[in-house]
Structure 1
Amino acid sequence: MLTRRPVLAAIFCAGLQFLITTLILKAGSAFMPPEAFGKVKLAAFASTVILPLILVQVFGLWRQVGLELDKLKPGGVFFASMLLCVLFLAMGVHPQETRPFAPELLIQFINAFGEELLFRGVIFAILLSLPRWQAIAISGILFGGMHLIHGFMDGDWNHAMWWAAATSLSGMMFAAVRYGTGSLWLTIVLHMVLNLCKIYSNIEAAAGPAALLIAERAAYGIEIALIAYVILSARAGARVRMS
């Protein structure tokens, strides 16, 4: 199935994670008292790490997911992607009293590890047989689709659809960085650091919501540029090999 129908296999993996996470949260909200819902969310959070690890083992993808330490060699694509972090910290850091840095760092590492292992590890390896632009687009759309879970949980579908679209673009950018570096660890670091920079960005506090909106739009531009560069560089390389 992985080699014969890679798109279906990728959809299966993302859909299975979506289903498990949604069922845990829905069951918890239905059968657990409100004061215990924190533990329910923790169980749902844990599933986003456990399932990818199981899939790697079941499909025998340990050599394909990019966890080798000898690939930790950040190049131009990785450094260009870090411009996003510079952008969100352009006006300094805004501490969050309700989100102390040390616990948040751990949470964001676990979150980035699980999501990257699934989407830029397992699903990336499954889609390698496709043209690069297709693999980037599919993995990004599946990543964005996972965030529709907010619509199922709180009923705010307008926000959920917007969030899915924004994270689809981010997912494509993460996939582009994965292609550009060959390392899953580097995409994990990028994902984690970028989330932290957005959480602790001082832009809105210093200059207001309009400035934050401008920064977000600039970030979309950087993401699109990186995606286009990685896709076009692959096509240029293919033309050179054919000539």
Structure 2
Amino acid sequence: MTRSLVFFAPLLTFGIPELHVSGLALLAAIGPTVLAMAFGWANIRLGLSSRMVEMLGPLGSMDRARDLIYFFSGGAAQEYLYRWVVFVAFTPLLDWVVIPLSVLLFVGEHVLHAVARSTWDARDVVVHAVLGTVYAAVMYLTGSWLAVAIAHTVYNLPNVVQTLLRPSIPKRQPVPVA
């Protein structure tokens, strides 16, 4: 959850994004997201399989809450930084070149993340570069941060489902005092 909060650090300087969305912007952002998920369907199925869920083990209530908050807010948090802040700060200077800058920062952060360094392959980098480009282009062409935040949240939904499927750590029974 702390990782999500870091993305919102510039909030005081850059403010709250404009919360408008058109059907076209939403379609332009979610369409490729769904295609990317279909492309990775085998990995999604594996991640949601009972075998994988069992291998990941049970979660305590605090860990489950943390993971659910992160997977629901993480995409919007990243889109706030890499689309809203980067676009507000650099579009006046770079115009359309803000798109590759945004993608480079977005993919770079994912590649440098500790979990990704041990689990990502070239396919993951390509998928995130393509989605980052789509989200940046939608933001540039429509100004709709909300469309890309929703699309990124949709992309994270398998992680939400996996978190919900994991068993709970049994609560400790009080030890009777003799």
Q: 1:122 to 1:86 in 2, by over 3 A?
A: closer
Which has the bigger relative contact order, CA under 8 A and spacing at least 6? 2
The answer as to whether partners of 1:89 and 1:197 remain within 8 angstroms in 2 is no
List gaps (5 residues or longer) in structure 1: 1-44, 201-243
Q: Does the CA-based 8 Å contact 1:123-1:139 persist in structure 2?
A: yes
- Relative distance call for 1:172 and 1:106 in structure 2 (3 A) is same
Q: Structure 1 162/82 Cα, relative in aligned 2: closer, same or farther at 3 Å?
A: closer
Structure 2 residue 140 is the aligned partner of structure 1 residue 179:
yes
Tell me whether 1:54 sits opposite 2:17 in the alignment.
Answer: no
Shift of 1:135: 0.7
Count matched residues.
Answer: 143
C-alpha RMSD of the superposition:
3.6
Cα drift, residue 160 of structure 1:
5.6
Which of the residues 17, 32, 44 maps onto 1:84?
A: 32
User: Which residue of the partner structure matches residue 80 of structure 2?
Assistant: 117
Could you report, residue by residue, the CA deviation over 1:83-114 in whole angstroms, capped at 9, with x for unpaired residues?
235444699x9555539xx9676432211122
> Aligned pair 1:131/2:95, yes or no?
yes
SS in 1 for 2:14: coil
* Identity, % of aligned positions: 23
Query: d(CA) in 2 for partners of 1:52 and 1:169?
Result: 21
**TM-score normalised according to structure 1 size:** 0.47
The alignment status of 1:108 with 2:105, answered yes or no, reads no
- The 1:108–1:119 alpha-carbon spacing in structure 2 relative to 1, beyond 3 Å, is same
C-alpha spacing 1:107/1:53, structure 2 compared with 1 (3 Å): closer
Q: Residue 109 of structure 1 contacts residue 192 of structure 1 at CA under 8 Å; is this kept in 2?
A: yes
Q: CA distance change for structure 1 residues 154 and 195 in 2, over 3 Å: closer, same or farther?
A: closer
Counterpart of 1:131 in 2: which secondary structure?
Answer: helix
